[in-house]
Amino acid sequence: MEDTLTLSIPLDIPQFINNVLQYGANPNTPSIPDGITPIHMATLNQGDYAAEILMQLLESGGTCNAVEKSSRPMFEPIHFATINSGDSALELLELLLEKRGIDVIWDRDGKTLLHFAMFNEGDCGPKILKKLLESGMNPNVVDKHNRTPLHLASQSLNLENQNIALMRDLLENGGDPNAVNEDGLTPVHCAAGDWGEYGYEKLKLLFLYEGDVSINCTDGLTPLHCAILMEENNRSKTRDNTNNDEAKQRIATKKDQINRSLPVDLNSTAIDFVNGIAPVADTLVEG
């Protein structure tokens, strides 16, 4: 009966779920061996009745802190709700927060719900992030690699430009653009190394909130180094995809040239560069 309940949830038919529950199905019985419960399945549901079905399960005694065991981090239902990209995702999260509370919920890699929200590729992503922040979560909470949610948002995690919206919400709520991860990288480093469609906008936003381009990571690179090296790396791949050793040597040489020729006032130079005032990156380096 429990398997019937789990398998019926994606059908998104509340009346059918109700009938199965009335026949004695247990909303807390996990499947074997992955530990998926009907509550987990309900938080993954992207149907029109997803929130109604989750409510049915909770009112029938479903627990919202069961642990799924198929993946190493071992997720609770609220983790799945946070990355659900369906139209009902925010309602799912709100139901679980009401039952579960907002205490810091870590996975085995140390990621919190705020970290998970950075992976939500739906239109609801910014709404979910805002709900978590309004509930009192710390925007500068770190995982086991000392990465804040802003580190993740500054990278190219999503294909859409909603990364900008996520970054703005984090920064407006006290997110630190100069927080340092285990490799000494800040969100500014991450954005500077992103030459995707929105890398430029990410840097502008971080600079508005006093992002610092003079911070060295453990490899001795500032964000400005990262930006120039990323551009050179991309050009190397375009010129020659067959000789990786040669490409690496070109990049190493370029790094030494950058170290010798960068201006003293890195912050001023970077802001001018992003605003289109300074010359393009390769004019900072001879050769």
Q: Which structural domain range is residue 26 located in?
A: 1-101
CATH of the domain at 22: 1.25.40.20
Within-domain flag for 195: no
Within-domain flag for 24: yes
Q: Tell me which residue of 169, 142, 42 sits closest to 93, measured CA to CA.
A: 42
Within-domain flag for 244: no
> What's the whole-model pTM score?
0.77
Within-domain flag for 2: yes
Q: Tell me which residue of 112, 146, 142, 109 sits closest to 129, measured CA to CA.
A: 112
Within-domain flag for 42: yes
Is it the case that residue 71 has pLDDT exceeding 60? Answer: no
Tens-place pLDDT, residues 117-138: 999 988 899 999 999 999 999 9
Opening angle at CA 196, ends 163 and 112, nearest 5: 35
Within-domain flag for 270: no
Within-domain flag for 59: yes
Within-domain flag for 48: yes
Tens-place pLDDT, residues 167-178: 999 999 999 999
The total number of structural domains that make up the chain: 1
Give the pLDDT band of residue 46 (cuts 50, 70, 90): very high
Decide: 41 and 10 in contact? Cβ < 8 Å.
yes
